[in-house]
A and B are shown apart, each in its own frame.
Chain A
Amino acid sequence: MSLVNFASREITCKLVYYGPGRSGKTTNLHYIHGRVPEMRRGRLISLATQADRTLFFDFLPLELGQISGFTTRFQLYTVPGQAYYNATRRLVLQGADGVVFVADSQARRFEDNVESLQDLQENLLDHGVDIRELPLVMQYNKQDLPHGLTLTQAELDDALNFRGVPSLPADALHGHGVFETLKQLSGLVLQRLAMAPPEG
């Protein structure tokens, strides 16, 4: 992980939005992109299929300027949710400083959420990272859908959030909970800014 580089006076945080296909990861990034002043954001790079499914990954760089003498950058990534893109997910996950797990709140997607969370844990382990050691925030998206179709935050916490990490309900399409999620994760990541700088 590369957080603070005292030599080059840079802070770079890589945040990855992870979750099952169609859970709303790219929607989160699109909303953020739309709300960030142009001078503070890079181009949102999105490689999608004809059906708007993420083919490789989305990438949104945020330049936050000089903070305490450090050039501060956030790099937001999404992973393709479909099961057969696991190699890509593993690649994107490499070097992540924090992860937002975007769960689909619909009851019918319950199993997809569980499988994706297991997939996240395994892919992190492949990189030698224990999920318990990595800043993680759960976002329960699509809470705007009718109650009959979705699980509540408590139900989703019971099913997915057995580690007790911060969790938030969200409606990424309209922006509800999107920045709250980003703030939660960035707070966790920045708390880990260590005195000892990484190599390089």
Chain B
Amino acid sequence: MSISSLEGATFESFVEGPSNSAAAVAARSVASQPGGGRQSLLLLGPAGVGKTHLLGAIAATLRTTQPGLEVCQETAASLLDRARGLHGGLAPLHEAGLVLFDELERISEHRDLEGAVLDFLLARAPMGRPVVLASAQSLETLGSAGAELAALLSEGTTVHLAPPDSGTRLAILRLRSAEFKPGLPDDVLAAVARLPITSVRELLAAIQRLVAFQSVSPGPLDPAQARLLVTGRATARTDDDEPPVPAPASRQVELRPLELADDEFGSFLTEVVASVSHQVDRWRAQVGEAILRHGGEGFLTRRLEALLEAEMPARPGEVLDRFELDVMRLRALESTAASLAPELAGSPAFRDPDRIDDAETALALARLRHDPLPAPSPEFSLERFGEGPGNRRALQAVRGVLHQPGARDNPLVVVGASGTGKTHLLHAIGNQLGTGAGPVACLAAATFAGDVRRLLESGGLANWRSRFRHAGAFLLDDLHLLAGRPEAQEEFLVLFAHLLAHGRQVVVAMNAPPSSLKDIDPRLLSRLEAGLVVELPRPDREIRLLVVKQLLAASPAAGDAALADWLANRPADSVRAVQGAVRRVLSAAEAEGIGPSPALAREVLDRIEPATRPASAGGTAAGGAPVPVRTGQGPEKMVTVWPRIGDRLIEELD
């Protein structure tokens, strides 16, 4: 017999008696071996005799003993929702390991419901998949569907539950009374058990009312008062026609306000107690319904179960509302994830309302798989990055970052003029970091700003943010190009803070120290300055020699030390300028069909681009030849300014 159909129904809390022992045995059998020996079990009995409790007990047992078994627990309302396409429709009921369906008697109320029940029974029957149904009415009374149901369930077992006898009622009352402090005296429980109450629900309501009354009475209730409160009559008929026990005269006087029908305040108090008891405990019913509904859908309901276990929780409504919101959020996340990766539909990652973060991470990973982050170019490696006295400190910092990414030097800020190797270094770091902490995002600031602007106009910024927030490391090149783009700076600032807070490595490259950048949000600058700022200087001779040797290695001039020395000795603003010079020499040699040599290099390079003297501000070289001043950031945009117009004329006419 059901002690409570909603508060975590188990077999342990089910009080067995002659009226329900067969049903309890059958239910235990299903719980221990679903489908073993029978395809269906039908529990038949009037309302309030424990059918729902037994269904809940089966589900609770299987959750513990066979967590992998999919158990669908349905009511008329939830099945009607499925028939209308909600909660995944009826299909999950075809495949589930076990279906528990309560309120079978309601199928005659709605044609959709009737169709839904027949649908899942017909689908499961050929496979021999078990179902347990509960009905308050016999199948013959269920109209046209009754005959079909009887045929479908003919192979199964039907067991009947009857209203509890007085012995069972007393056992239920004692169990329930023990939950209250103070409980009711045993003679009161015995008196109530003898009343002809046929529904366990009514029995539980009666005890709730008695306990509430006792709490506002000067002393414990006696049997006569209890009978009066439950039946409205002091001499209520009992099951065994036991003559009512008159209350002692002194007690009658003491409790007169509660007992006498003509006492107006007592009558008023009776109604208030009943209303308050019903309303205050209503949340338990709502929480219980939510557990059944969401548990049946596969969501974990630990939070709600804990709520029911608490005797008097604070703000239960808020907890329930929050839970419902979390379930809705999980559904939305699952739906989006399934649209990106269908195999994620029904994934356990979207079934735990206490772990929304995990679900969001699962969705973000699905997004990343579907639309990967911009990765570093594999062409760049640290091995190919020439090391010299000038950039040794920067490279040491990089090695520190690679040793403990996200831990110490975070962010790492690489400062250097155009062509000094910032991009190479950034991509090399990205390649070296690998994807251990998540995918590495490596992109140019111009791309970043362009994405932000485009998505602000077209939408989709939230998804974009989510992708980057799950990056294992974030590397941004040419950060100075965010100047004057406040929306992109704001996005980067938020992303930056998020990544740092989660221990992800951030590396940015820019053409000037943070303190000298213009039109950049001061909050961003201060955060950058708080990191490790390292500088990549213009390439010194050692670096230039390494670059030259790397390029010559694959050419006919590999090993030509004189050519390498000559090229490395030429001053250059950037590695890119050195690379350009070598390529021009190699190209000229190939065009003329001769081997590269210092003479050819002199001829090619000095004719096109006389060697620069970075330290010089114009004037004459050692040999008295006029030397131009180059301005601009790189070789591609080089402008040559001649201090004396005559020198330029000589150059032009040469």
Contacts and interface: CB of A to CB of B under 8 A. Distances in A.
A70 B276 contact: yes
B312 A190 contact: no
A73 B318 CA distance: 24
Interface in A103-140: none
Interface in B251-265: 257, 264-265
Contacts of B267: 179, 183
B317 A194 contact: yes
B280 interface: yes
A186 B317 contact: no
Interface in A152-198: 175, 178-179, 182-183, 186-187, 190-191, 193-197
B654 interface: no
A194 to B, nearest CB: 7
A3 B491 CA distance: 46
Contacts of A66: 215-216
Given A66-B215, A197-B317, A72 B264 contact: no
B280 A70 contact: yes
Contact of B275 (A186, A194, A196): A186
A68 B257 contact: no
B276 A68 contact: yes
B283 A195 contact: yes
B283 A182 contact: no
A183 B268 contact: yes
Interface in A55-100: 64-70, 72, 74
Given A65-B215, A190-B276, A191-B275, A7 B315 contact: yes
Interface in B319-334: 320-321
Q: Which of A4, A67, A190 has the most CB of B within 10 A?
A: A67
A9 interface: yes
B601 to A, nearest CB: 83
B264 A67 contact: no
Which range contains the number of B residues in contact with the other chain? 20 to 34
Nearest to A188: B275
Interface string B265-301: 1011101110111011111001000000000000000
B194 to A, nearest CB: 26
A6 B216 contact: no
Contacts of B317: 194-197
B320 A193 contact: no
Contacts of B127: none
A179 B264 contact: yes
Given A191-B279, A195-B283, A65 B268 contact: no
Given A37-B257, A64-B216, A68-B281, A186 B318 contact: no
Q: Which of B273, B313, B321 has the most CB of A within 10 A?
A: B273
B150 to A, nearest CB: 42
A36 interface: yes
A147 interface: no
Given A64-B272, A67-B276, A193-B279, A40 B215 contact: no
A188 to B, nearest CB: 10
Contacts of B276: 11, 67-68, 70, 72, 190, 193
Contacts of A197: 315, 317-318
A7 to B, nearest CB: 5
B546 interface: no
Interface in B141-163: none
Contacts of B315: 6-7, 196-197
B314 A68 contact: no
A7 B271 CA distance: 24
B281 to A, nearest CB: 6
B586 to A, nearest CB: 79
Contacts of B208: 68
B271 A67 contact: no
Given A195-B317, A197-B315, A35 B282 contact: no
Contacts of B268: 179, 182-183, 186
Contact of B272 (A186, A195, A196): A186
Interface string A3-29: 010110101000000000000000000
Contacts of A6: 312-316
A179 B264 CA distance: 6
B212 interface: yes
B312 to A, nearest CB: 5
A102 B277 CA distance: 29
A195 B286 contact: yes
A67 B311 CA distance: 14
Contact of A67 (B216, B282, B316): B216
A175 B264 contact: yes
Contact of B271 (A72, A175, A186): A186
Nearest to B264: A179
Nearest to A67: B276
Interface in B61-107: none
A76 to B, nearest CB: 12
A9 B279 contact: no
B321 A196 contact: yes
Contacts of A32: 265
Nearest to A66: B215
Contact of A69 (B264, B272, B312): B312
B551 to A, nearest CB: 74
A70 B314 CA distance: 12
Nearest to B319: A195
Given A72-B276, A190-B276, A65 B216 contact: yes
Nearest to A190: B275
Given A64-B216, A179-B267, A4 B280 contact: yes
A88 B467 CA distance: 61
Contacts of A191: 275, 279
Q: Which of A66, A182, A195 has the most CB of B within 10 A?
A: A195
A6 B314 CA distance: 5
Nearest to B283: A195
User: 8 closest pairs, A vs B, by CB?
Assistant: A195-B317, A196-B317, A65-B216, A190-B275, A193-B279, A179-B264, A195-B283, A67-B276
11 contacts: A6-B314, A35-B264, A64-B269, A64-B272, A64-B273, A67-B273, A68-B215, A68-B280, A69-B311, A195-B283, A197-B318
Given A179-B267, A193-B279, 19 more contacts: A6-B312, A6-B314, A32-B265, A35-B264, A37-B257, A40-B265, A64-B216, A66-B216, A67-B215, A67-B277, A67-B280, A68-B215, A68-B276, A69-B280, A179-B265, A179-B268, A186-B272, A195-B283, A197-B317
